[in-house]
């Protein structure tokens, strides 16, 4: 026996109403579109036209203001440069020009300068100049600050340098007893707590680059670019005092990297050949921390040199 279930009357009425509304909308929309001759593309504004206008007649923007933070937070400002309390200036801009943006000029040259978050330690800016179909040259600069911790405390003085010494008043190695060398006892614990001092663990990376391309023919082009990067600051490095005892040291970071690249490209397909030259130089020396207990800690190897 067939078992036919029909939807409730209210639901059927709703479906009929929706169908009627869609049919009416389709008829109104078709009535508003004028008939076009066969083979002719409809004219009028479209999304593609707006995108083309953005390319050939870009809108220049300049934004200036201030930004404030009401309370310091290292985690909030880990990557945005806003870890300290206070008000800072802020500037963003993107300006373009040249004859290529003015079709009536007949020129194919164009230029652009831009900047972002100027006023903060995460700023960037750059520029480029080009002759369409012939060559392009550009430069860029950017910074990135990272705050690992703004509430770090350490026993050693000289955080951020390669010379880490114990605080004044801390018992010298020759006067420490076996009881003091046991860091779990009250005496060394009290001496360490009294000697702690605060330090912000952070790194700052600065990078600048210059690049250019030359079009030799519709198929071949050559490019050259160079980039220099410098990074400094402090990070945590573990050391051992013998057995299972150890500590984290605020070790300095200070290195520079330079990369130069040349390339030859063929546009009809994927062939490309490139050559790189890289130099690396680290300016820090091996850390020699004072030992809070005997024996002396083992230190990281020196990374001085290139």
In a domain, 10, yes or no: no
Sign of dihedral through CA atoms 232, 237, 182, 185?
positive
Sheet holding 197-215, edge to edge: 61-69, 86-97, 109-118, 124-131, 135-154, 197-215, 220-240, 246-266, 272-282
Residue 108: which pLDDT band, with cuts at 50, 70 and 90? confident
Same domain, 143 and 115: no
| Residue 127 and residue 206 in contact, taking contact as beta carbons nearer than 8 Å | no
Same domain, 67 and 190: no
pLDDT digits (tens, 9 = 90+) for 115-171: 999 999 999 999 999 998 899 999 999 999 999 888 888 888 888 888 888 888 777
Domain count, the chain: 2
Q: What is the mean pLDDT of residues 11-22?
A: 48
Q: If you average pLDDT over every residue of the chain, what do you get? A: 78
In a domain, 14, yes or no: no
Domain holding 223, by residue range, is 134-306
- Residues of the chain with pLDDT > 70, as a percent, come to 71
So what's the pLDDT on residue 92? 96
132, 155, 171 — which closes off a domain?
132
pLDDT greater at residue 6 or residue 95: 95
So what's the pLDDT on residue 146? 93
Residue 283 has pLDDT above 60, yes or no: yes
So what's the pLDDT on residue 37? 55
pLDDT digits (tens, 9 = 90+) for 238-281: 877 665 567 788 888 999 999 999 999 887 766 778 888 999 99
Residue bearing tokens 């639901």: 11
DSSP result, 225-286: EEEEEEEEEEEEEEEE-STT-EEEEEEEEEEEEEEEEEEEEESSSS-EEEEEEEEEEE----
Same domain, 83 and 219: no
| Rounded Cα distance, 175 and 181, in Å | 10
Q: What is the mean pLDDT of residues 34-59?
A: 60
| Rounded Cα distance, 163 and 119, in Å | 33
Same domain, 190 and 279: yes
Residue 230 has pLDDT above 90, yes or no: yes
99, 132, 165 — which closes off a domain?
132
Q: Mean pLDDT highest for which of 16-25, 74-83, 179-188? A: 74-83
Same domain, 167 and 294: yes
Residue 204: which pLDDT band, with cuts at 50, 70 and 90? very high
Same domain, 139 and 122: no
pLDDT digits (tens, 9 = 90+) for 49-79: 767 776 677 889 999 999 999 888 888 989 9
pLDDT greater at residue 209 or residue 188: 209
């Amino acid at each position: 026996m067939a078992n036919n279930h029909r939807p409730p009357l209210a639901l059927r009425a709703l479906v009929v109403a929706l169908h009627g509304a869609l049919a009416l909308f389709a008829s109104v929309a078709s009535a508003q579109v004028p008939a076009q001759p066969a083979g002719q593309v409809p004219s009028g504004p479209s999304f593609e036209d707006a995108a083309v206008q953005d390319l050939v007649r870009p809108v220049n923007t300049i934004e200036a203001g201030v930004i404030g933070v009401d309370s310091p937070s290292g985690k909030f400002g880990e990557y945005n440069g806003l870890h300290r309390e206070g008000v800072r200036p802020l500037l963003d801009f993107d300006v373009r020009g040249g004859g290529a943006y003015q079709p009536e000029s007949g020129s194919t040259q164009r230029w652009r300068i831009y900047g972002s978050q100027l006023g903060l330690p995460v700023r960037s800016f750059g520029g480029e100049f080009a002759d369409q179909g012939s060559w392009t040259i550009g430069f860029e600069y950017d910074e990135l600050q990272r705050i690992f911790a703004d509430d770090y405390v350490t026993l050693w003085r000289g955080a951020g340098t390669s010379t880490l010494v114990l605080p004044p008043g801390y018992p010298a190695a020759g006067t420490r007893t076996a009881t003091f060398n046991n860091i779990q006892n009250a005496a060394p614990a009290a001496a360490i707590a009294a000697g702690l001092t605060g330090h912000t663990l952070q790194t700052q990376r600065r990078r600048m680059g210059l690049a250019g391309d030359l079009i030799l023919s519709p198929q071949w082009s050559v490019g050259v670019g160079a980039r220099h990067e410098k990074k400094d600051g402090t990070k945590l490095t573990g050391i051992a005092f013998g057995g299972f005892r150890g500590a984290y040291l605020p070790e300095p970071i200070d290195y520079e990297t330079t990369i130069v690249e040349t390339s030859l490209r063929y546009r009809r397909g994927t062939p490309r050949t490139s050559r790189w030259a890289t130099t690396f130089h680290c300016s820090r020396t091996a850390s020699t921390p004072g030992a809070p207990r005997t024996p002396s800690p083992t230190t990281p190897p020196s990374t001085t040199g290139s």
